[in-house]
Homo-oligomer: A and B are copies of this chain.
Amino acid sequence: MTLTSLTPETEPLLTAVLPADRFRRAEDRYLEEPRGRFRGQSGLVALPRSADEVATLVRLCARHRIGIIPYGGGTGLVGGQIIETGPVPLILSLERMNAVRAVYPDENVAIVEAGVILADVQEAALQAGRLFPLSLAAEGTARIGGNLSTNAGGTGVLRYGNARDLCLGLEAVLPDGSIWHGLSRLRKDNTGYDLRHLLIGAEGTLGIITAAALKLSPRPAYSGTAMLVVESPAAALKLLTLGRDLLGDSISAFELMHRQGMEFLAEKLPDIRRPWDNPPEWCVLVEVGVTAGQNPTDALERLFVAGAEAELVSDGIIAQSQGQSDDFWTVREHIPEANRRVGSVSSHDISVPLGALAEFITKANARINDIGDFRINCFGHVGDGNLHYNVFPMPGKTKADHLAVREQIKRSVHDLVHELGGSVSAEHGIGRLKVGDLERYGDPAKLAAMRAIKGALDPAGIMNPGAVLRG
């Protein structure tokens, strides 16, 4: 079934039903994405103010078979928010649905609209003496509806889980324009299929999240940060196991970094204070959050000592102030920006079982080396088995020099991930960039079930057409 293109002729089908200020022409920001790989078509943006207005638009789009892109902060890295060709869709932005509807500190719950910026959710929790632990580099721009639609990950997953683990309930407009009122504040509710988890991670292809009930956490009384030098990724993992035995759930972040990332920082963002002039090959950024009566510095020292005794840690720095701790995090959070400035030939957001992580890095490096001379920046959320394994040109070359082997690099990394039982999209999702990967590596029975579900809930195929599943 072909979709109807949104043109000056068909736009009045939509614009007639809501006030004029609910629409605007699509400016550049709606048509671009962070890595510049996709470019959208000019068209119409709708800016509804309520779930009812979203429902009105969806019903009309269903009736007239007009495609819809649910639009959050536009920070996605796999083109889920951009349709480059084919029938022009409506861009339905949630940016005006940005109210924190309620915070229940004693329940550890917040009810927020889909357009609230992630950092503002964090701030609302903080104001109530609570923690919303979802944290990622784009948190100043990304909106919570998009975070949920893509099941965002980030640095807090080790302790607090992915975005889906932080959501108790949803309000959403389904592809037929009905509104699911599912803003549950309940911790336990076994009344039927879990529609919440089906919409989370569906990247807007099964409906539009308009609000969410989020799970907050008590704030750790004190937190502390250290940079520890490890011999290898395998040593980092053993250190994490040791640390969890010693410190339990108090380890809230455990981020692996390779020397290459520090060197890119020195080259492209020299103003950022780095922990070492001569960085070690591998280090981990460890954060602990402890309760009253415990001392985070003591906890990190115990980890340091135990790691050294086990010959897993050879050196390290425990932050002695909030400023030093912030510096460590600034380093970690600017690695993606330094990467962007260098310009990768191919970037991979992969996960493998923890036990296969060291093997992955060794074998992937060898395969890339067989293809040519490259610089590899491998970093990420090692406690989650999630690495950003990014391949860069050597100094003096640019990514344009390697276009011919880009697909080969991606394929060899993804094949290896698949051989090791891993995922070719650990936290960024499928979008449009990885539709082919999903078809290649996905389980056939799961894919058939996904297509059946998509066909049942969105028979006209209007919801983010071409994302996740080929249209």
Contacts and interface: CB of A to CB of B under 8 A. Distances in A.
Interface in A408-460: 421-430, 434, 437-438, 441-450, 452-453, 455-457
A182 B385 contact: no
Copies of this protein in the complex: 2
A112 interface: no
Contacts of A106: 237-238, 241, 354-355
B353 A188 contact: no
Contact of A443 (B176, B180, B355): B180
Interface in A162-193: 162, 164-165, 174, 176, 178-182, 184-193
A200 to B, nearest CB: 7
B197 A446 contact: no
A249 B455 CA distance: 42
Contacts of A385: 186-188
Given A107-B355, A241-B106, A452-B457, A194 B198 contact: yes
Q: 6 smallest A-B Cβ distances: which pairs?
A: A197-B197, A456-B456, A248-B291, A189-B423, A178-B445, A185-B353
Contacts of A355: 104, 106-107, 185
A381 B248 contact: no
A437 B447 CA distance: 33
A188 B456 contact: no
A425 B191 contact: yes
Interface hub of A244, A445, A449 (most chain B Cβ within 10 A): A449
Interface stretch (A85-93, A137-145, A149-157): A149-157
